[in-house]
């Protein structure tokens, strides 16, 4: 995720900004930049790659001891990593600069209208529209221009803005993207996207809330409401976190933080693509015409590990709602079998990292055979995205824990959007159904957000009871069968407990032989069309003295009677259960791994990005 650092005060700004950015490196980034004021002019340096490149560049530079400036580390979302796309971005005159975190959803429209007014764009980013939009509103006060400009903006932003004609101030503003301000009694104000950047300098902070803006000067800091311009009284808070805690926003591990970030990641993935009123989905990034999409005869999904589980869920969705045959392959198998592909097939490689060697090899084979390749990926500019004909990006932000959590539920979100989109283009989903499914997705993030803390608590007794087990069995059916696979993978990855996921109907074809008191069985039993079937399978386990954890619908009292532990989830649209039912399984794995003293974020023998075969 991008990082912002800004400073105005009595000290030299360049070392403060560089040190602050270094402390945000853990968030992941692919380019960096800095701007400061020297002799009344803004001086800007940017480069692709690691911060070390920028630091090296700055060693040769005479910054004139500047006392005001901004810095940014960019994690690409619109346009690949490059110097031109790195922040800060300038207006036409070069007198105004912006650094930005978040996504400007209506940037296409804004860019077109600004271009028509004569603004010249030099990057592919959504951020650059902000610089030109503020320029458009600028008269003699920067804060006022920022407030007016952001009224036209849809999406999320944390902003740092600077103008050479008001050289004593920085403007900060936020909407749905965090921004924290730091103050020092002896003068000097800071802004940062995250607390670690501030810790070497101050522990006195002010958290900006959504739709607030601040004017930072050496000796004053004022906060205003962005919408009505009224001043806002803010409380200064003292941070007592150490650096490690601050990087994880107070969570013990990145994995836990990322589990809790899922509502935002899901929201970011559908926002701007799904009309909340009609359920209509727009995915221009697919770059295929409606005619081409109607001519597709088959979809082939290719992925590894957790991403393969997302593909398995999508098969249920696509076949049900689009009525198109879907095949799903593990990429390492796909690449070594005879592939019957051609121009009428869409191949969809799914990869969080965009660098997985087997998935990439599959993509290349598919292209050679003339298939259309549309990837689903979380990392902009990664190899898989560069080599695909089009990419649907998940907007989960960088995932640092090796065990994939928010990237998985974002992949599911992207695949659900794709299902709606294809169903709408091919007219297999009636308008009323689109509205219903779209509404269900829009409601999901808030619902997950509400359930997360309770679910985390509920895992403690289950973990105490089963955390020392040697084996685990996960059962599911239908679109929740892949979620059983994912639950088992999560547990084995981070706790080193042997775990298997099975389609519940397969139980009596072998695995039932394993059932005894030492084999906990977790089954997913939402009140869907196969509910009774799974309950029968669970009864078979109970009859053999198996110990049972059931995850099902709130209000289904039968579950508590059958199971040793029942985890209840709210009733949502059945189609979205795979996303919701993933959450308690992630939390259970986390709790168990943590209790067993495992290295949750970097489990043994695993890599975040598997770039070898
Ligand atoms: C997920 O928890 C795993 N770390 C792993 O299975 C992962 O999903 C797999 O290696 C594929 O990675 P990708 O999504 O980056 O291609």
Looking at the CA of residue 402, tell me the nearest atom of ligand 1: 4
Local confidence band at 408 (pLDDT 50, 70, 90 cut-offs): very high
Same domain membership, residue 138 and residue 189: yes
Residues of the chain above pLDDT 90, percent: 86
Task: Report the C-alpha gap between 591 and 30 in whole angstroms.
Answer: 32
pLDDT at 605: 86
Contacts of 316 (CB under 8 A, 6+ apart): 478, 479
DSSP string, 379-391: STT-HHHHHSSEE
Q: Is residue 444 part of a domain?
A: no
Q: Is residue 547 part of a domain?
A: yes
Same domain membership, residue 505 and residue 401: no
Residue 297 C-alpha to ligand 1 middle, in angstroms? 28
Residue 307 C-alpha to ligand 1 middle, in angstroms? 6
pLDDT higher than 70, residue 394: yes
Same domain membership, residue 508 and residue 477: yes
> Domain holding 22: CATH number?
3.60.20.10
Same domain membership, residue 421 and residue 274: yes
Same domain membership, residue 253 and residue 216: no
Max avg pLDDT among 20-24, 200-204, 423-427:
423-427
Local confidence band at 611 (pLDDT 50, 70, 90 cut-offs): confident
Contact between 81 and 70 (Cβ < 8 Å): no
Q: Is residue 437 part of a domain?
A: no
Task: Report the C-alpha gap between 179 and 101 in whole angstroms.
Answer: 9
What residue has token string 């709790």?
Answer: 591
Q: Is residue 462 part of a domain?
A: yes
Same domain membership, residue 239 and residue 110: yes
Mutational test site, ligand 1, from 28, 305, 351, 357, max ligand atoms within 8 Å of CB: 305
Q: Is residue 439 part of a domain?
A: no
Same domain membership, residue 283 and residue 188: no
Residue 488 C-alpha to ligand 1 middle, in angstroms? 14
Mutational test site, ligand 1, from 254, 301, 304, max ligand atoms within 8 Å of CB: 304
> What is the chain's length?
613
Contact between 376 and 392 (Cβ < 8 Å): yes
**Mean of the per-residue pLDDT values of the chain:** 94
pLDDT (average), residues 352-356:
91
Domain ends where: 245, 263, 298? 245
pLDDT at 277: 96
Looking at the CA of residue 607, tell me the nearest atom of ligand 1: 4
Residue 92 C-alpha to ligand 1 middle, in angstroms? 43
Contact between 552 and 560 (Cβ < 8 Å): no
Q: Is residue 440 part of a domain?
A: no
Contacts of 276 (CB under 8 A, 6+ apart): 438, 439, 442
Contacts of 251 (CB under 8 A, 6+ apart): 257, 260
pLDDT (average), residues 97-117:
95
Which position among 12, 217, 234, 608 bears the catalytic label? 608
pLDDT at 347: 98
Same domain membership, residue 479 and residue 341: no
Residue 404 C-alpha to ligand 1 middle, in angstroms? 7
Looking at the CA of residue 305, tell me the nearest atom of ligand 1: 6
User: What is the C-alpha R_g of the chain?
Assistant: 25
pLDDT higher than 90, residue 27: no
Domain ends where: 395, 429, 463? 429
Of 89-98, 123-132, 395-404, which range is least confident? Answer: 395-404
Q: The pTM is what? A: 0.82
Which position among 2, 189, 304, 377 bears the catalytic label? 2
Mutational test site, ligand 1, from 259, 302, 307, max ligand atoms within 8 Å of CB: 307
Domain ends where: 185, 219, 245? 245
Question: How many folded domains does the chain comprise?
Answer: 3
pLDDT higher than 90, residue 177: no
> Which SS3 state, helix, strand or coil, does residue 503 take?
strand
pLDDT (average), residues 281-285:
96
- Please give the residue range of the domain that contains residue 181: 3-245
Residue 377 designated active-site = no
Question: Which amino acids bring their CB within 6 angstroms of ligand 1?
Answer: 304-307, 351-353, 356, 359, 402-404, 493, 606, 609-610
Mutational test site, ligand 1, from 253, 351, 352, max ligand atoms within 8 Å of CB: 352
Q: Is residue 363 part of a domain?
A: yes
Same domain membership, residue 410 and residue 304: yes
Q: Is residue 606 part of a domain?
A: no
Local confidence band at 410 (pLDDT 50, 70, 90 cut-offs): very high
pLDDT in tens, 450-473: 999 999 999 999 999 999 999 999
Nearest CA to ligand 1 atom 7: 305
Same domain membership, residue 404 and residue 459: no
pLDDT at 1: 63
Of 176-185, 450-459, 540-549, which range is least confident? Answer: 176-185
Nearest CA to ligand 1 atom 9: 305
Residue 413 C-alpha to ligand 1 middle, in angstroms? 17
pLDDT higher than 90, residue 322: yes
> Domain holding 302: CATH number?
3.40.50.10490
Same domain membership, residue 95 and residue 139: yes
Looking at the CA of residue 606, tell me the nearest atom of ligand 1: 4
Same domain membership, residue 303 and residue 164: no
Residue 2 designated active-site = yes
């Amino acid at each position: 995720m991008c990082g912002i650092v800004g400073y105005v005060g009595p000290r030299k700004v360049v070392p403060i900004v560089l040190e602050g950015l270094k402390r945000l490196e853990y968030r992941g980034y692919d380019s960096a930049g800095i701007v400061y004021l020297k002799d009344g002019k803004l001086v800007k340096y940017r480069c692709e790659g690691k911060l070390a490149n920028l630091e090296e560049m700055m060693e040769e530079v005479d910054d004139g001891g500047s006392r005001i400036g901004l810095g940014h580390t960019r994690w690409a979302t619109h346009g690949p990593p490059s110097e031109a796309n790195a922040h800060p971005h300038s207006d036409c005159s070069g007198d105004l600069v912006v650094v930005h975190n978040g996504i400007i959803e209506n940037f296409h429209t804004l860019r077109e209208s600004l271009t028509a007014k004569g603004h010249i764009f030099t990057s592919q980013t959504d951020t650059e529209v902000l610089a030109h939009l503020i320029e458009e509103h600028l008269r003699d006060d920067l804060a006022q221009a920022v407030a007016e400009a952001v009224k036209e903006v849809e999406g999320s932003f944390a902003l740092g803005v600077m103008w050479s004609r008001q050289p004593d101030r920085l403007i900060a503003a936020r909407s749905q993207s965090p921004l924290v301000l730091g103050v020092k009694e002896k003068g000097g104000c800071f802004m940062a996207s995250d607390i670690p950047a501030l810790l070497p300098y101050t522990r006195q902070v002010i958290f900006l809330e959504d739709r607030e803006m601040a004017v930072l000067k050496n000796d004053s800091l004022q906060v205003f409401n962005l919408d009505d311009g009224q001043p806002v009284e803010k409380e200064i808070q003292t941070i007592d976190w150490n650096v490690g805690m601050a990087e994880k926003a107070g969570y013990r591990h990145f994995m836990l933080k990322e589990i809790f970030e899922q509502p935002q990641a899901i929201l970011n993935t559908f926002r701007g693509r799904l009309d909340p009123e009609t359920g209509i989905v727009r995915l221009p990034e697919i770059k295929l015409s409606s005619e081409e999409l109607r001519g597709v005869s088959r979809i082939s999904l290719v992925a590894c590990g957790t991403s393969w589980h997302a593909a398995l869920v999508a098969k249920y969705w696509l076949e049900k709602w689009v009525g198109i045959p879907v095949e799903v392959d593990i990429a390492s198998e796909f690449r070594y079998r005879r592939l019957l592909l051609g121009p009428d097939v869409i191949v969809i490689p799914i990869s969080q990292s965009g660098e997985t060697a087997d998935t990439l090899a599959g993509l290349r084979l598919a292209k050679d055979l003339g298939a259309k390749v549309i990837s689903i990926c979380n990392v902009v500019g990664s190899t898989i995205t560069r080599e695909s004909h089009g990419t649907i990006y998940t907007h989960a932000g960088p995932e640092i824990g090796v065990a994939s959590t928010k990237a998985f539920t974002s992949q599911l979100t992207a695949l659900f959007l794709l299902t709606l989109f294809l169903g709408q283009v091919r007219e297999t989903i009636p308008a009323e159904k689109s509205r219903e499914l779209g509404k269900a997705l829009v409601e999901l993030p808030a619902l997950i957000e509400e359930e997360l803390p309770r679910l985390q608590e509920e895992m403690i007794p289950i973990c105490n009871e089963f955390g020392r087990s040697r084996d685990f069995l996960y059962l599911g059916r239908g679109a929740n069968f892949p979620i059983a696979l994912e639950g088992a993978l999560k547990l084995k990855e981070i706790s080193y407990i042997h775990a298997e996921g099975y389609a519940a109907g397969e139980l009596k074809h072998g695995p039932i032989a394993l059932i005894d008191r030492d084999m906990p069985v977790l089954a997913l039993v939402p009140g869907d069309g196969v509910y009774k079937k799974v309950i029968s399978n669970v009864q078979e386990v109970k009859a053999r003295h198996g110990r049972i954890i059931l995850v099902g619908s709130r209000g289904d009292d039968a579950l508590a009677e059958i199971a040793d532990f029942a985890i209840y989830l709210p009733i949502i649209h059945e189609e979205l259960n795979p996303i919701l039912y993933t959450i308690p399984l992630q939390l259970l794995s986390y709790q168990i791994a943590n209790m067993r003293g495992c290295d949750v974020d970097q489990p043994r023998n695993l890599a975040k990005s598997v770039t070898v075969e």
